[in-house]
Structure 1
Amino acid sequence: MQATYNKFPEVAVQGYDDQAWQGWQSINEILNARLFTSSRTVLVVDCYPGVRLQELEQQLLPALNSVLTINVETARLDEQALQQMLAANLTDDRVFGVLSCHRLSAFFDAEKLNLLRQQIDAVKHGVVVVYGPGAALAHPGDLLIYADLPRWEIQQRMRRDRLSNWGADNQHEDILRRYKRAFFIEWRVFDRHKTPLLRRADYLLDTTRKLAPALVSGKALRAGLQQTTTRPFRVVPFFDPGVWGGQWMKRQFDLDPSAPNYAWCFDCVPEENSLLLRFGAVRIEIPSQDLVLLYPRALLGEKVHARFGTEFPIRFDFLDTIGGQNLSFQVHPVTEYIQQHFGMHYTQDESYYILEAEPEAVVYLGVKTGTDPQAMLADLRAAAQGKRAFDDERFVNRIPARKHDHFLIPAGTVHCSGAGAMVLEISATPYIFTFKLWDWARVGLDGLPRPVHLDHGEQVIDWSRDTQWVYDHLVNRIEPLAESAGWREERTGLHEREFIETRRHWFSAPVTHHTQGGVNVLNLVEGAEAVVDSPTGAFAPFHVHYAETFIIPAAVGEYRISPAGNSVGRQLATIKAWVRG
């Protein structure tokens, strides 16, 4: 079967085709035309951490004919001072830190910044260029460019290029520690810093691809993001191998056949995914989080924004163990634990929706009735020390998993997917907070032992979630709600402790939905193709294919989903998630 899954979905922006440029030569020509003046002009090029400053220094700065060029990082605190300031956030743990509440100015020496400002003020004629992460702290800019890139690309640079964290010479640290520092500190600090800059930037510089930059005017960027909130859209999925990864996605999504496996597909994680905006012949790749930062009310809706701020609270991703192995046996922290230990205000409740399954597939979920907590913890500790394998058959429920089953996993429930399943994971967004209890004696792809967090895990396991409770509350809680000619609606969860509601619609005829003032996230879980349109023609028809996740912004209101293409006359199904009121 030919793969139909679109790995590079775009939003075509209307009305700004002449406001984007590709390549350093075109970018330099545009900027020089703006900078031509008889008086002093200060060009500020502020950057997200991970932008290749050397490329800017080689390809951009020489063409600007500046009389003074300043790298703002010369005023940054040294590595030792930063380490002392951040020690409480970094912790000694390899994976977990504490979320930072720092402002970016705290990372700079105030006296050195003041000296930079004096140098700028001393120039009376010509172009002054201030560049680097935090450049706007030295001067607001007569012309402001923000150089950006998605977090997923930053992670790739950490792996491929051994990129250090910002302000640290730590390229030889393992990837988990560098990711931890980025997740808990850098990305939080720089998102606070860049949000007001994006609202007033004259240009955004897309630095995602090496030596292939793109530039878009700030006006066009903001118009493109605003247009995105009025229509269905998809973010750019990314795929990653893992020690337990399978083969299903490789075939279904036309991925690199030479890769050993693919474990994850992050199909809707706006904090890390890209968003592709097309302006005529130029495609701009930005963090999809920029949309959340700039237009949260139209995207999320008033109630969701009031509750979560500029965080997209719903995550859809895939876990592929078909032809692979069991996931790590794990548990997620309950709300009070994640608040007290990590500074996160909500936790990672989730569910497993089974897209495909081999005949012997199972889900591990909850403890067996009669389990002695101390006996199970002792067995887990012995397994972690390499003394013996964890006796999962003694302690954990193994529940058969079939296509279209839905398993609910509120925080505190021990769980994992077994081999042979293609899982659509529907969860809250704090995606790093997984306490591994047992990892089947594996090492990671980096050759290092995979970290196990028994000390955290034993604090949050809910031992009351035994066999009967799990079957009564977490397995296929399917509730018929409504039906008419050509469709029926079912409630499939989630558990009452989880803030996400899910509904499944089976349909062979058009089905009308409404966002009810909150963002909707959907996946086409059955059928080859569907079309999403507006009953009032408010947006252009939007086509989706099997297993594609798509977002309906709160501002859309009413929308309709119908079979399309070869699926006309057949039965399809979507799973829809939103935040309960």
Structure 2
Amino acid sequence: MSRYLPTGVVPGAYDKAPTIGLPDGHVAWSGPQAWAHLSGLATSEGSIAIDTYPGSDLVGLRRQLMLALPDALLIDVEEAAALSPDEIDQIISSHLTDDRVFGIMDHRPLHDFYDRSRLEAVARRVEQATTPVVVYGWGATLVPASFGGVVLADLARWEIQKRQRGGAPNWRANNGGEDQLRKVKRGFFVEWRMADRHKRTLFDRLDFLLDANISMSEAKLITGDSLRAGLQLAATRPFRVVPFFDPGVWGGQWMKNVLEIGDEQNYAWCFDCVPEENSLLLDVAGTVVELPALNLVFTHPRELLGEKTFARFGAEFPIRFDFLDTMAGGNLSLQVHPLTDYIHNRFGMTYTQDESYYLLDAGIDAVVYLGIRDGIDPIAMEEALRTAATGAASFRADDFVNAFPAKKHDHFLIPAGTVHCSGADSMVLEISATPYIFTFKMWDWGRVGLDGIPRPIHLDHALANIQWDRGTDWTRRNLVNQVEPVASGDGWVEERTGLHEFEFIEVRRHWFTDRVQHHTNGTVNVLNLVEGAEAVVESPTGTFEPFVVHYAETFIVPAAVGAYTIRPTGAGIGQRLGTVKAFVRGTQR
């Protein structure tokens, strides 16, 4: 048994592939059956459009279509009507910038990257064809033709990133061998935004969804009605997204041992609730179909987020839970996040990356670096950082930054502009706002990344955002373990643990040995079982089936759920359990 495993927690209980089961009557097709079904659709309807998410395997898609429809006219809309790679590069260059990590949000529609006359030429070919026609590729539905069927080949962002690490380029780009950070930047600031805007126009008209996250020969197919039923179901009950794990230069061993994941040398990150990145798994008659969790945000924003949260953020999930594992690892980079005005003016983002560290576990000597030491000279700190950036000397972080002792269940609040990082031998549940790439590294302890390349330092950005008045005393009084009792009852206690008044997220912790009453109060709730083996989430009126969660699992309760309860169950009975719950302040009814 792992030395990190908490007492009473069942090894291997953490669910790495949570599913949402559709009721009887829904069907999924896989592999040859899926392609045979699409072949029948094209034959009976005359023409279909398979609109793909950028990063989909179009070569594999065409191969399967040729096998299934040997006499059909197959048209790759990207080759037939999209602008050339050079033209696209020229258009988006100002939004990509020269930086490895940061660009500017691009709000162009997809049709800006297509030639209208060539789209019309494709439409004429479709209308004049005497055999079945399949138009495929990102933007297939831009063709102004009357298609008999519309299919979306969807792809999760994490899968796109894995393919890019293997050498796949961005959309219509000759950059297969480029730095992975630059590929992600192009996706984050340009392609994925454009793809999501385009995809949102398709949900109501989809006849089928094709799961393109696996080999095209094994792709899975469900009807548009099944997709919509699954998303409707998720919007009305507690659920989990699919976590993914990634190694890092500072990564540790806690997740690897406690959650029993993979065989990498270490794991640094786990995105356990980042709907912009994570997937949902629909169990359709025993076939598991993967789709981006963002599809739920786009199709049911009011039920999921709540009316007030939707009015404030739009169809965007504003709360992120993730893990940072440095147990037997190293310090995170010393960093700061941008102020709201800065992130809006420089990068086109509407809100910033406020966050906090909740300690799931900590070693004896664990610390969190947070805030500037009282009395330090900002000019001296800047000079020391700039010298360190040249490699001429190390940055003596302890001379300038507070290092607060950290123990299990401590909570450190990190409003934007606060210098911070988690030290070694910590297991952090990071609770934050969603713009997740906006970290300005100042010092990375003289390391290089796993790829052997120094990780990017953004000193100028960082220095423009450091709040120098957040000294030792201010930080201790405002950001370290701001726990306040809220309420208590038979077998439970509720505490407020933050966040800071500058941040829009509220966090409540419940300790309990018996049933606890909760209510979404009109806004989405995000929770993690931070103590105890197992709990069950239930509806007082039976509107959803009991939902079991295990230690360290993050789960989402949509605003539409309203009242719900959490109590110990299974291996959790007889234990003191703990949850942390985050929601958007000022949106409760």
* SS of match in other structure, 2:174: coil
What is the percentage of aligned positions where both structures have the same residue?
57
Secondary structure of the residue aligned to 1:570 is: coil
Deviation by residue 1:470-503 (Cα, 9 ceiling, x = unmatched):
0000000000010011000000000011000000
Match for residue 20 of structure 1? 28
Separation of aligned partners in 2, 1:330 and 1:140: 53
Give the corresponding residue for 1:242: 248
Tell me what 2:376 maps to.
371
Distance in 2, matches of 1:140 and 1:325, equals 58
Counterparts of 1:400 and 1:361, CA distance in 2: 6
Amino acid at match of 1:105: H
Shift of 1:67: 4.0
Is it true that 1:224 corresponds to 2:230 in the alignment? yes
Cα distance in 2 between the residues matched to 1:198 and 1:244: 41
Give the match's secondary structure for 2:60.
helix
2:320 corresponds to 1:311: no
The 2-side partners of 1:433 and 1:66 are apart by 50
Point out where structure 2 has 5 or more consecutive residues left out of the alignment: 2-10
Cα separation, 1, equivalents of 2:94 and 2:66? 38
Indicate the residue corresponding to 1:31 in structure 2.
Answer: 38
The aligned amino acid for 1:14 is P
Matches within 5 A, 1:216-365: 216-256=222-262, 258-365=263-370
Q: Name the SS for the 1:460 alignment partner.
A: coil
Secondary structure, aligned partner of 1:359: coil
Q: 2:62 aligns with which of 44, 50, 57?
A: 57
**Matched-pair contact (CA < 8 Å) for 1:528–1:566:** yes
Pairing of 1:452-491 with structure 2 (within 5 A): 452-491=457-496
Cα separation, 1, equivalents of 2:204 and 2:288? 20
Give the aligned residue type for 1:241: P
Q: Structure 2: how far apart are the matches of 1:97 and 1:358?
A: 38
Structure-1-length-normalised TM-score: 0.97
Instruction: Give the gaps of 5 or more residues in structure 1.
Output: none
Deviation, 1:34, is: 2.9
The one-letter code of the counterpart of 2:265 is P
Report Cα offsets for 1:185-242 as digits up to 9, x if no partner. Answer: 0000000001111221000000111232100000110011001111110000000000
Code of the residue aligned with 2:294 in structure 1: it is Q
SS of 1:270's equivalent in the other structure is coil
Q: How does 1:400-549 map to 2 (within 5 A)?
A: 400-549=405-554
Q: 3-state DSSP class of the match of 1:115?
A: helix
Q: CA deviation at 1:430?
A: 0.1
CA distance in 1, matches of 2:43, 2:205: 21
What code does the residue aligned with 2:400 have? F
**Residue 6 (structure 1) aligned with residue 15 (structure 2):** yes
Task: Give the corresponding residue for 2:104.
Answer: 98
Matched, 1:117 2:117: no
Deviation at 1:433, TM superposition (A): 0.3
CA contact (8 A) 2:100 2:181 kept: yes
Q: In structure 2, do the counterparts of structure 1 residues 375 and 289 end up closer, same or farther at CA, with 3 Å as the change threshold?
A: same
Q: CA deviation at 1:42?
A: 1.6
Q: 1:143 aligns with which of 132, 144, 149?
A: 149
How far apart are residue 32 of structure 1 and its match?
Answer: 3.1
Per the normalisation by structure 2, the TM-score is 0.96
One-letter identity of the residue aligned with 1:170: N
2:173 pairs with 1:164: no
Distance 1:421 1:141 in 2: 55
Cα distance change, pair 302–61 in 1 and its aligned pair in 2 (3 A): farther
CA distance in 1, matches of 2:290, 2:441: 34
- The one-letter code sitting in structure 1 at the alignment partner of 2:452 is G
Offset of 1:65 from its aligned partner? 4.3
Distance, in Å, in 1 between the alignment partners of 2:296 and 2:146 is 23
Q: Deviations over 1:139-191 (max 9, x none)?
A: 3522000001100000000112x110001010111100001000100000000
**What's the secondary structure of 2:291's corresponding residue?**
strand
Q: Deviation above 4 Å: which 4+ runs of structure 1?
A: none
Could you list the per-position Cα deviations for residues 348-387 of structure 1 after superposition, in whole angstroms to 9, with x for gaps in the alignment?
Answer: 0000000000000000000000111111011000000001
Kindly provide the CA deviation profile for residues 30-62 of structure 1, in whole angstroms up to 9, marking residues without a partner as x.
22333344xx62210000011101111111343
Paired residue for 1:71? 76
Distance 1:126 1:118 in 2: 14
SS of 1:126's equivalent?
coil
Alpha-carbon contact 1:163-1:171 (below 8 Å) kept:
yes
Structure 2 match to 1:556: 561
Is the 1:66–1:129 Cα contact (8 Å) retained in structure 2? no
SS at match of 1:476: coil
Q: Quote the RMSD (CA, aligned, Å).
A: 1.1
* 1:51-102 Cα shifts (integer Å, max 9, x gaps): 1011111113431245422110121111111111101110010100001101
Distance 1:33 1:376 in 2: 68
Aligned length: 574
Shift of 1:565: 0.8
Task: Give yes or no for contact 1:511–1:560 (8 Å, CA) kept in 2.
Answer: yes
1:66, 1:128 within 8 Å by CA — same for their partners in 2?
A: no
Aligned to 1:203: 208
Moved more, 348-357 or 444-453: 444-453
Counterpart CA distance in 2 for 1:15 and 1:259 is 39
